[in-house]
Structure 1
Amino acid sequence: MLHETRCPPMCVNIQLFVSTNSGFIVANVLAYLTKNFLCSASCSIFKGIGIVVLTAVAAKLYFNWLQPKDRSAKQKELITLLDPQTKYPLKLVERHFINHDTRRYRFALPSPQHVLGLPVGQHVYLSARINEQLVIRPYTPVSCDEEKGYFDLVVKVYFKDVNPKFPEGGKLTQYLEKLPIGDTIDVRGPSGLLIHQGIGLFAIKPDKKSPAFNVAFKKLNMIAGGTGITPMLQLIRQILRNPDDTSCMALLFANQTEADILLRDELEEAASKNPDRLRLWYTVDRPSDGWKYSTGFVSAEMIASHMYPPADDTFVVMCGPPPMINFACIPNLDKLGYSPKLRFAY
């Protein structure tokens, strides 16, 4: 027969072992017991107002522990690009004509539940054998990586006999132009030296073999030319999507004519909805009547007037034709005092 005694109010430290499929969770729980609890000689039975419902505590501990796992599980969705060295044949399912030489292509992923699996800042490679020659080109999707079942590319087609400097035109872009709906093309990735890591943070590799280093920023200047707008749109969408991200952006977008401005509706919608976070400015080589933006190559005056000034928390990303980067962007950034360590060219 157990000997029962009345005890004064006290605090008991209870150690819980919660069994899960992955092992045990161990936690200490403080239980405050009133003077009415009943105690045996071995203190193995608790009664009264101060009894802790151990099952509820254990359940709470278990679900608190499980939540990060659930988030991780969500991140581990069905990913298409599992191996950067593997080519995945993906089917062309839609071709949308944006203008006379630009198309939006939609490619189906292996299932409606798959995502592409492309970190923001990275790109994919499309490859095809054309006239017995393997042709490979990089592209940045304009669709969000959260989209399931497909991804979209915006591609400018370089037709034969249009540009005298390139009389044969673009091999892969003309191949895509003629690719029948339902046929596949090989896609490989992710690839690239820059990854957007989250709020105000890039991880950048100097080259493929070097380790990445982190760069923090509060303001992001973007200079794009032609189809170089696609990685910028990828960054803009990612940054504006996060309500906790207060990074501010300024985009200078260069094209030959107003008709050549790709994704203009998407850009202007983003700027109009976020006027304090996204500045948008254009320059074209051949302006139309009533053109209200800049004219000509990217200049120091354009950068100074429409970009954030040099600072330790200001980073510059560039993407466009090599002559634009090498002879317009870099010299003018140098002239204005932007640090070479705080810039990146795709």
Structure 2
Amino acid sequence: AAVPPPPPAAACCGSLSATLQSASATKHSSSTPAAAASGAAAAAVGGGYLWAASSRHEAAREPGGAPRALRAGEALYCTLTEKQWVTPSAVRLRFALPSAEHVLGLPVPGHVMVIDDAQIYRPYSPVTVDSQAAGYFELLVRHYPGGEISTRLAKMSPGERAHFRGPVGNAFEYTASAAPRRIGMVAGGTGVTPLWQVVQAALADEEDRTRLSLVYASRRADDILLRDELERAAAAHPDRFSVCFVVSEGGGAPAGGVAGRIDAAVLQRHLPQPSEDGSGVLVCGPDSMLRALCGPRARDGGLAEAARRPPLGGLLRQLGYEDWQVCWL
């Protein structure tokens, strides 16, 4: 059975993507005509899935020559080479690509579909990005009892193969900026994975003048995923990236974090002000968090109805953000 195509994306996210792209126009003004046309097409569709609106992630190779493993409409089978439980319920998996030169071939942020034998599928955001990983990619999987795909992945042993499809993009695609700008991010649980892609891509480019801040909510301190990586990134780039851990249970948050839940005060302290030029906010997490931040109807209709998402509500609207400044992934 064929894997369904990704759903359309929300217009508000397209506006955010176009706004942030306009801030980066100086850096990319010398891009090739093909790349410029791709960016224009992506902005023109008002938030359509950028991998579908542009041929940039459908080509067999990266502009620099690295072959892409993911090809639209084709199955990709990869062998598990490393497995590490990072919390009692979360496992990090490394899969080999067809050669040491291959990259996965995803936009940032991007997802792969994991397919099981019964054609049940689920999207996962790798915790590696093409610019930093050749020959492999990694997934961070939270195992949920009764979850068919997460259970299958959690039970895999090195040497076994998994079936992937893609590339799958988002309404928002990250581009570097030569002009100063700020992007705030709010994550809950495994929702940190696509945002970690953005952090890696931004910090790897020394010419990128984007400043990033992340508010990351977890139940307990020992549930925080990618904590070491996030803390190292913040320590290495204090002028470009900051992270605030918010822990709701278990007696306390890490140093500099917050015990409790995300509220207006936390958001005001760590996110860019709505009035800042070129500012935007990315949100990724469980439905309850999205509804609190973006409004009670944030998930109405599911992904298939994404093109008809309601206006922004919730805490972010109360703080003054406009629809076009916020994108939930």
**Equivalent runs, 1:324-343 vs 2, <5 Å:** 324-330=289-295, 331-343=314-326
The alpha-carbon deviation at position 239 of structure 1 amounts to 0.6
Deviations 1:216-260 (A, max 9, x none): 981000000001111111101111111111111110000111011
Question: Which one of the candidate residues 157, 160, 178 is aligned to 1:183?
Answer: 160
2:228 is matched with which residue: 256, 265, 280? 265
Mapping of residues 190-229 of structure 1, within 5 Å: 190-200=167-177, 218-229=181-192
Match of 2:151 in 1: 174
Uncovered stretches (5+) of structure 2, i.e. residues with no partner: 1-60, 296-313
SS at match of 1:152: strand
Alpha-carbon RMSD across the aligned residues, in angstroms, is 2.1
User: What's 2:274 paired with?
Assistant: 310
- 1:340 corresponds to which letter in structure 2? D
How many positions carry a matched residue from both structures?
248
Residue 344 of structure 1 corresponds to 327
Distance in 2, matches of 1:181 and 1:174, equals: 15
- Please say if residues 264 and 319 of structure 2, whose CA atoms lie closer than 8 Å, have aligned partners that are also in contact: yes
Aligned to 1:155, which of 130, 138, 141? 141
Letter in 2 for 1:155: V
- Structure 1 runs (4+) deviating above 4 angstroms are 289-292
Provide, for residues 104-133 of structure 1, a one-character-per-residue CA deviation record: whole Å limited to 9, x for no partner. Answer: 10111111221111111111111102xxx4
1:138 aligns with 2:123: yes
Could you give the per-residue CA deviations for residues 57-115 of structure 1, whole angstroms, max 9, x where no partner exists? xxxxxxxxxxxxxxx975232210122x2221111111112121111101111112211
Q: Distance in 2 between matches of 1:291 and 1:275?
A: 17
Q: 1:250 to 1:73 in 2, by over 3 A?
A: closer
Structure number having the greater helix percentage: 2
Mapped partners of 2:253, 2:113: distance in 1: 39
- The answer to whether residue 83 in structure 2 is matched with residue 95 in structure 1 is yes
Instruction: Point out the more displaced range, 250-259 or 298-307.
Output: 298-307
- Which letter does structure 2 place at the counterpart of 1:81? L
Q: Which structure shows the bigger proportion of residues in strand conformation?
A: 1
- Among residues 100, 111, 118, which one is paired with 2:106 in the alignment? 118
- CA distance in 1 between counterparts of 2:105 and 2:62 reads 14
Equivalent residue of 1:193, what SS? coil
TM-score by length of 1: 0.67
Measured at CA, do residues 290 and 102 of structure 1 come closer, stay the same or move farther in structure 2, by a change above 3 Å? closer
| Pairwise CA distance, 1:333 | 0.3
User: Is 1:322 matched up with 2:299?
Assistant: no
Bigger radius of gyration among the two: 1
Identity level (%): 34
Gaps spanning 5+ residues in structure 1: where? 1-71, 161-168, 202-215
Distance 2:242 2:105 in 1: 29
Shift of 1:286: 0.4
The answer (yes or no) to whether the contact 2:108–2:169 under 8 Å persists in 1 is no
Match of 2:27 in 1: none
Contact kept? 1:298, 1:329, Cα under 8 Å: no
Moved more, 282-291 or 272-281: 282-291
CA displacement, residues 184-226 of structure 1 (integer Å, 9 cap, x when unaligned): 111111112235352239xxxxxxxxxxxxxx98100000000
State the TM-score, normalizing by the size of structure 2.
Answer: 0.71
1:119 touches 1:195 (CA, 8 Å); kept in 2?
A: no
- The separation in 2 between residues aligned to 1:115 and 1:135, in whole angstroms, is 25
Q: Give the deviation of 1:324 after TM superposition.
A: 0.5
SS state at 1:252 partner:
strand
CA contact (8 A) 2:83 2:157 kept: no
